[in-house]
């Protein structure tokens, strides 16, 4: 049996580095409530991500859900169903109505040419998703939002460290949500953040993630508990020291995949976007069953038979979830639906190694002719 390869693996610092980082927590006994590590990480991330302001959260989902509340979003939100469950759930759990826009075939981001046709008097915001590290057409979205007086909130969970024309991608729009989940390019074990420029929004986010507390004696809001703890912040401090190196390793593996899969009939990979500094977060391949000779599910099973565990990411699209049955019509976003049936994300992480990438690519190529 060949060695097992998972689709992803959490990045960790050296054991001694993390132990040294958390030693001061034993000295001061400060475990949560925006402690020393929390403040240090916020400062470090603000600089690294090139954003005006940042607020840390226990996870990316709570960051997005509470951001929608902080911005007082009402009515309809134009978004994409080609995303992780969290995006749609955050909208629905706020009592808002997601209006699903189809995606582009080349990079799987929201199709900006279809957004305006979905705008109604009830529309208050656009919530696009940067997908697999590919960024949305931020300039076109900004133009649409300005003309229709709409807020723009980016789900930037996949784009840690990505830049567009030298500007941090999380600085676009009214605000951006980042995820620091264990499987991401950069992690704090669990964690997330909101990047923003409006100081008043920061005050609202602070209260919402801290029980609505204004000060020790005044609670003038109804909030949740979504604060990042000191141990997660310490992990983030450590991982931030090495993230550029980790991204470079991801890039090297991506280039090997591109070289070895470029001539396999029916396998399509995303092109690198112009003026973008990438993070190589994922390695999605589109499987064209007519040209490849097998469909996505068959390739998925074939790889699993060789102990290579890929992921159908994203499948199904969120508008087709069982929990939303009868509420949304997945046929209204045909490109997203078709893509979800044909996309496979194959393993990529810094410690994967060229030998493993070569093995995976070889199996994909060999299955094409069987």
Report the CATH number that the domain containing residue 112 is assigned in CATH. 3.40.640.10
Tell me: pLDDT of 205 over 70.
Answer: yes
User: What is the distance, to the nearest Å, from the Cα of residue 152 to the centroid of all Cα atoms in its chain?
Assistant: 16
On whether both 200 and 270 belong to a single domain, the answer is no
On whether both 231 and 259 belong to a single domain, the answer is no
Task: Please indicate, yes or no, if residue 254 is contained in any of the structural domains.
Answer: yes
DSSP state of 136: P
Tell me: pLDDT of 345 over 90.
Answer: yes
pLDDT in tens, 257-310: 999 999 999 999 999 999 999 999 999 999 999 999 999 999 999 999 999 999
Task: Please indicate, yes or no, if residue 5 is contained in any of the structural domains.
Answer: no
Torsion sign, CA atoms 149, 155, 158, 161: positive
On whether both 146 and 186 belong to a single domain, the answer is yes
Task: Please indicate, yes or no, if residue 4 is contained in any of the structural domains.
Answer: no
Closest CA to 127 of 94, 100, 148: 100
* Helix or strand holding residue 168 (H, E): strand 167-168
Q: Report pLDDT for 369.
A: 75
Q: Report pLDDT for 370.
A: 67
Burial class (CB in 10 A: 0-12, 13-18, 19+), 218: exposed
On whether both 179 and 249 belong to a single domain, the answer is no
Residue where one domain finishes, among candidates 215, 238, 261: 238
pLDDT band at 97 (very low <50, low <70, confident <90, very high): very high
On whether both 20 and 49 belong to a single domain, the answer is yes
Q: Calculate the CA dihedral of residues 236, 239, 241, 245 and round it to 10 degrees.
A: -150
Q: Report pLDDT for 48.
A: 98
Structure tokens belonging to residue 115: 């957004």
pLDDT exceeding 70 applies to what percent of the chain?
A: 100
Residue 316, preceding bond cis, omega within 30 degrees?
yes
pLDDT in tens, 125-177: 999 999 999 999 999 999 999 999 999 999 999 999 999 999 999 999 999 99
Mean pLDDT of the chain: 97
DSSP state of 215: E
Q: In what order do the strands lie in the sheet with 267-269?
A: 267-269, 284-287, 343-345
C-beta of residue 194 within 8 angstroms of C-beta of residue 67: yes
Q: pTM to 2 decimals?
A: 0.97
User: What is the distance, to the nearest Å, from the Cα of residue 288 to the centroid of all Cα atoms in its chain?
Assistant: 25
**End-to-end CA separation in angstroms for the chain:** 21
On whether both 31 and 160 belong to a single domain, the answer is yes
Task: Please indicate, yes or no, if residue 250 is contained in any of the structural domains.
Answer: yes
Q: Count of domains in the chain?
A: 2
On whether both 69 and 182 belong to a single domain, the answer is yes
On whether both 273 and 166 belong to a single domain, the answer is no
Q: Rounded to an integer, what distance in angstroms lies between the CA atom of residue 346 and that of residue 257?
A: 10
On whether both 79 and 223 belong to a single domain, the answer is yes
Task: Please indicate, yes or no, if residue 264 is contained in any of the structural domains.
Answer: yes
On whether both 229 and 266 belong to a single domain, the answer is no
pLDDT exceeding 90 applies to what percent of the chain?
A: 98
Tell me: pLDDT of 104 over 70.
Answer: yes
On whether both 275 and 135 belong to a single domain, the answer is no
On whether both 114 and 210 belong to a single domain, the answer is yes
Q: Rounded to an integer, what distance in angstroms lies between the CA atom of residue 143 and that of residue 121?
A: 18
Q: In the chain, which residue ranges form alpha helices assigned H by DSSP?
A: 15-28, 36-49, 60-70, 85-93, 138-148, 199-209, 230-261, 289-292, 296-305, 334-342, 354-368
Residue where one domain finishes, among candidates 238, 273, 300: 238
Q: Report pLDDT for 2.
A: 86
**Could you tell me which residues come within 8 angstroms of residue 175 by beta carbon, excluding any fewer than 6 positions away?**
67, 71, 153, 154, 194, 195, 196, 201
Give the residue-averaged pLDDT of 180-196.
98
Tell me: pLDDT of 22 over 70.
Answer: yes
Residue where one domain finishes, among candidates 190, 206, 238: 238
Q: Report pLDDT for 166.
A: 97
How many Cβ atoms sit within 10 Å of the Cβ of residue 270? 20
CATH number for the domain harbouring residue 323: 3.90.1150.10
Task: Please indicate, yes or no, if residue 73 is contained in any of the structural domains.
Answer: yes
Task: Please indicate, yes or no, if residue 350 is contained in any of the structural domains.
Answer: yes
Q: In 29-84, which residue ranges form alpha helices assigned H by DSSP?
A: 36-49, 60-70
Task: Please indicate, yes or no, if residue 328 is contained in any of the structural domains.
Answer: yes
Residues of the domain holding 122: 15-238
């Amino acid at each position: 049996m060949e060695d097992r390869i998972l689709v992803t693996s959490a990045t960790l610092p050296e054991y001694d580095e993390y132990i040294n980082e958390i030693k001061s927590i034993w000295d001061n006994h400060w475990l949560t409530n925006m402690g020393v590590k929390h403040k240090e990480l916020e400062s470090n991330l603000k600089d690294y991500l090139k954003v005006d302001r940042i607020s840390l959260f226990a996870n990316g989902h709570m960051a997005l859900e509470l951001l929608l509340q902080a911005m007082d979003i009402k009515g309809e939100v134009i978004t994409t169903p080609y995303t992780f469950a969290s995006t749609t759930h955050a909208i629905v759990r706020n009592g808002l109505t997601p209006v699903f826009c189809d995606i582009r075939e080349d990079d799987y981001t929201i199709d900006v040419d279809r957004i305006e046709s979905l705008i109604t008097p009830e529309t208050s915001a656009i919530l696009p998703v940067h997908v697999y590290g590919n960024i949305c057409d931020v300039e076109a979205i900004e133009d649409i939002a300005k003309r229709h007086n709409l807020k723009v909130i980016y789900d930037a969970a996949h784009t840690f460290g990505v830049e567009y024309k030298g500007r941090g991608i999380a600085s676009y729009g009214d605000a951006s949500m980042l995820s620091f989940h264990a499987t991401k390019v950069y992690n704090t074990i669990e964690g997330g953040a909101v990047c923003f420029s409006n100081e008043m929004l920061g005050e609202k986010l602070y209260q919402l993630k801290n029980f609505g507390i204004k000060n020790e004696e005044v609670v003038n809001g109804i909030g949740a508990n979504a604060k990042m703890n000191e141990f997660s912040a310490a992990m983030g401090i450590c991982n931030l020291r090495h993230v550029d190196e980790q991204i470079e390793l991801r890039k090297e593996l991506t280039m090997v995949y591109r070289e070895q899969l470029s001539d396999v009939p029916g396998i399509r990979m995303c092109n690198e976007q112009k003026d973008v500094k990438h993070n190589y977060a994922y390695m999605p391949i589109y499987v064209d069953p007519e040209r490849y000779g097998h469909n996505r599910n068959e390739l998925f099973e074939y790889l699993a038979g060789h102990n290579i565990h890929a992921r159908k990411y994203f499948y199904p699209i969120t508008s087709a979830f069982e929990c939303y049955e009868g509420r949304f019509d997945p046929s209204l976003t045909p490109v997203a639906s078709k893509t979800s049936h044909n996309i496979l994300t194959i393993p990529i992480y810094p410690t994967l190694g060229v030998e493993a990438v070569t093995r995976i690519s070889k199996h994909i190529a060999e299955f094409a002719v069987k």
